[in-house]
Copies of this chain bind each other. A is one copy, B any other.
Amino acid sequence: MSDIKPNHSALTEKPGIIAPEIISASSAGNIQHFRRIQPSSDELISGILKGDITALSRSITLVESTNTIHLAKANTVINTCLLHAAKSIRIGITGVPGVGKSTFIEAFGKYLTGLGKKVAVLAVDPSSTISHGSILGDKTRMEELVKDKNAYIRPSASGETLGGVARKTRETITLCEAAGFDVIVIETVGVGQSETAVHSMVDFFLLLKISGAGDELQGIKRGIMEMADAIIINKADGDNIKKAQFAKMEFNRALHLFPAKSSGWTPTTSTCSSITHEGIPIVWETIEKFLDLTKGNKSFYSKRKEQNQYWMLETINEQLKANFYKQNEIQQLLESTKKAVQNDEISPFAAAQFLLEKYFK
């Protein structure tokens, strides 16, 4: 478009017009005032502990911020909230798009609030940065739950890396627990390694399926079935009931071929309908049985400790890698070294050594 004359552009500065100050004295004053009314971390903490949703939302916004001052404040809030974490259960839910995750969570969530429980629904969706919130972004998909005063729905945090998104969700769990939520549901669509991340922050991992012709597991990534504590065949209504029953049997058979879980829990399968609500109570009964077993044999608590440690080590690992790959010299050499390795011109180990020497020198 080189034939457009610069003079015709609306962006051209007209001679003789003085550009205004970017921030006027009055708006600067407004910003300062707004900053002053930002609640202190003590105010946020006491708000959260009272179950105040505004304090909770504001604290989550701090957790999601990239501003280091906000993050420091978030850390203060979180570390105090950790000491006040209620006796919650964290449930991970995954399943391919089309399986009916939102309608299931709506039906399941309403059932739980009906039992007098407070339910928070979060999400880990690293793709939401690109798609502007593909899961939970559109709250209208959970029309009933969103109006329920005992439910709190928060879309996936955005971020460039799964590690970043996962950290934000993991810390949000802590805040929700301190705010008195009994059940924390974390949804994921299974982009990249997001199931592994969610699996590592929940007590109970639920795989949602629908019955289908032929390959019952189509679209489900390798390893997911082994993570599941329960497989729920959704959309078991109308003409689908028989097929769903058959799928349940197939999955049950397959699950029993897997090695036993260290918690002693044997994964279950069941069918449900988010429309007729048939089978929804069974999901919660299953989770209660799981809690009885794993709190009884203490594996519930040891798993949480392991998960905490996992996130510490994983964060260290992520940061060490991030620091390495952001170095100019490494960035300049990485692609050509990768190519040499792929083409068998240099051994992968010699190539790694070569880059590491540049980094540590």
Contacts and interface: CB of A to CB of B under 8 A. Distances in A.
Contacts of A75: 347, 350, 353
A225 B351 CA distance: 32
A41 to B, nearest CB: 13
A63 to B, nearest CB: 10
A315 B259 contact: no
B217 A258 contact: yes
A68 to B, nearest CB: 11
A338 B312 CA distance: 8
A-side binding surface: helix, strand, loop or mixed? helix
A298 interface: no
Given A82-B345, A312-B349, 4 more contacts: A75-B347, A83-B344, A312-B352, A317-B320
Contacts of A360: 323
B217 A308 contact: no
A152 to B, nearest CB: 20
A302 to B, nearest CB: 9
Interface residues of A, number: 63
B344 A85 contact: yes
Interface string A317-361: 101110110000000000001100111111111111101100010
Contacts of A259: 215, 217-222
A311 interface: yes
A55 interface: no
A352 B319 contact: yes
A167 interface: yes
Contact of A78 (B78, B317, B343, B347): B347
A98 interface: no
Given A167-B349, A344-B85, A347-B174, A321 B320 contact: yes
A254 interface: yes
A79 B226 contact: no
Contact of A223 (B79, B226, B337): B226
Instruction: Identify which of A82, A217, A310, A312 gathers the most chain B CB atoms within 10 Å of its CB.
Output: A312
A278 interface: no
Interface string A52-75: 000000000000000000000001
A317 B316 contact: no
A117 to B, nearest CB: 22
